[in-house]
Amino acid sequence: MTRVGLVANPAANSGRGGGAGTRALRALQDRGVDVLDLSGPSWSRALSNALDARTQLDALVVVGGDGTVHLGVQVCANTDVPLGIVPAGSGNDFASVMRAPAADVSDTVDSILASLQEPTPVDVGQTRRNDGHTRWFAGVLSAGIDAAIAERGRRMRFPRGSLKYKAAVVGELPVFRPYDIDIHASLDGHTVYAHSQSCTLVAISNSGLLGGGIPISPKSSVTDGALELVIADALTRREIVGIFPALLRGAHIDDPRVQVISADQVTIAPSRGGTLPPVASADGEPIGHLPVDVRVLPGGLRLLGLQRH
């Protein structure tokens, strides 16, 4: 009998995730699957439950938004355990990139189970801090104003989705100052970018979307074995407001103040004596202060029931 672990986030999408989790559990059981409900009262407890059970699983299914997907990636990346996603969050950025069938939980479960024998390999990012702590991510790592906005958004209960991101931008702008960051990026062992600079936005993108559908790197692919380093020069508050409409439609990459560099390894660190960057985040979840080393693991995550763009 197929044994599947299930992690549902009942707080996802302002409390609507619990219903989706219950429906996913019933759908799996109705199809004869042995289900281990690994959900917990907190993100860290659910992660611990899933890690402890990992060797017993044929697959892990997560029900929630990008934060719950991020949890699943910690369990499944660089293993033989495939990951299925039932989108039930307010943003669902990674699921959107992968065209997850979000309309009906039962249909999504059917799609996940039908692909158990042929999961789709996709790239995954890995972060490593100086203390040796590592974290995997599926979507985007943020380290500039994008990280500060993500932190503010985590504290907000309303609005949801891309509206939350926009509201967080409005809240963050009055306190913003450009950050001083050392950046080194390489591709295939060759340095492609190495600068110490003052900048507004620093993102390392695998999937291309963040903040409820904002295309931070529209040309990103989860199967090209590379990440996109997105850097925006030091901008004034007025200039940030001016570039924001372009950001929402992905046109910011044509702005001469924005650079997009393909890389497979990136190191970002605070410049000595400069303005400290905020706590970095990955898939919208905090991962700690800089410095951090980032690399891509091609094909390091096996997905179920999803179709690539």
Where along the chain do its domains lie?
3-118, 128-299
The domain 3-118 is placed in CATH, from the list 3.30.380.10, 3.40.50.10330, 3.30.460.80, 3.40.50.150, at 3.40.50.10330
Whether the pLDDT of residue 22 is over 90: the answer is: yes
Bridge partners, 121 (sequence order): 302
| Residue with the two structure tokens 């970002």 | 268
Asked whether residue 5 carries a pLDDT value surpassing 90, the answer given is yes
Least confident residue range of 5-19, 198-212, 267-281: 5-19
Give pLDDT, residue 162: 62
Q: Which two tokens stand for residue 7?
A: 């992690």
CA distances from 291 to 74, 177, 272, 294 (A): 20, 19, 12, 10
DSSP code for 224: S
Q: Residue range 162-185: average pLDDT?
A: 87
Angle of CA points 233, 284, 118, to nearest 5°: 115
- b/e per residue, 53-79, with b = 16+ CB within 10 A? bbeebebbbbbbbbbbbbbbbebbbee
Per-residue pLDDT, 158: 76
Average pLDDT score over residue span 60-89: 96
Structure tokens at 216: 């931070």
User: What pLDDT score was predicted for residue 15?
Assistant: 47
CATH assignment, 128-299: 2.60.200.40
pLDDT recorded at residue 306 = 67
Task: Identify the CA nearest to 285 among candidates 4, 37, 42.
Answer: 42
pLDDT score, position 309: 42
